[in-house]
Structure 1
């Protein structure tokens, strides 16, 4: 099973390698921008895109923008983004309310049960906390493929 996981992550990385190197000690580094943990392969895409373009790009790799299911996911995903982006942490993940204001959904269809908004928001950015911005804003993104 581990061999298959590594192969899948490697294929995602090859589909969208752009030269950034992730230096992580807690996780097995697969290739430049991809690594696997928690049964999912994550791939950081440094190209700036709108949320919809980023989701479409992830889908081209048979993935979706990353969903965050619990506090441990949130912490690990933050570490991946910080390492891959060299601390430029403003990155698209799969949460969206573009369809209806304040109705939050994950692009992969998972239930939106966990959030890490700054208290009283989703409006102000704070490191390690989530911010809602216009879907037309351009950001790098984090794709996730369930293995």
Structure 2
């Protein structure tokens, strides 16, 4: 996501609240996806309420009808069981899939659209997926 400075989102981005969002179909590992978002002037998306969750899901669905796994900006690689957003905002909303996060070995990055409920899941950061900035 990108913070908008002048009320206008870049071409191809979706405006919501005071932020801009874009789906990136190219598959990358979590760190490469964050770097790509930084090059675009933003970060991997942070999600803070149900409305934002619904917007991001709809954005993914518009490009990927199957709603496959997509990286978001949440991780806990620095300190196990202590999640943080790559954009520095507060971790205050968490629609995890059932029995997640499970904190299994090497699972410290987070994707959405996991399982029947399309919830969040902790996952190995080196896997490649599309993502939302």
TM-score bracket relative to the smaller structure: 0.7 to 0.9
Greater fraction helix:
1
Corresponding residue for 2:124?
134
Deviations 1:54-109 (A, max 9, x none): 00000011100000011111111111111122223310110011222221100000
Unaligned runs of 5+ in 1: 11-30
Q: Would you say 1:66 and 2:66 are equivalent positions?
A: no
The total of aligned residue pairs comes to 117
TM-score relative to the length of structure 1 = 0.73
- Which structure: greater strand fraction? 2
| Structure-1 separation of matches of 2:67 and 2:53 | 16
Q: Normalising by the residue count of structure 2, what TM-score does the alignment of the two structures yield?
A: 0.80
- 1:98 and 1:50 map into 2 onto residues whose CA distance is 14
Question: Whose Rg is larger?
Answer: 1
CA distance in 2, matches of 1:137, 1:42: 22
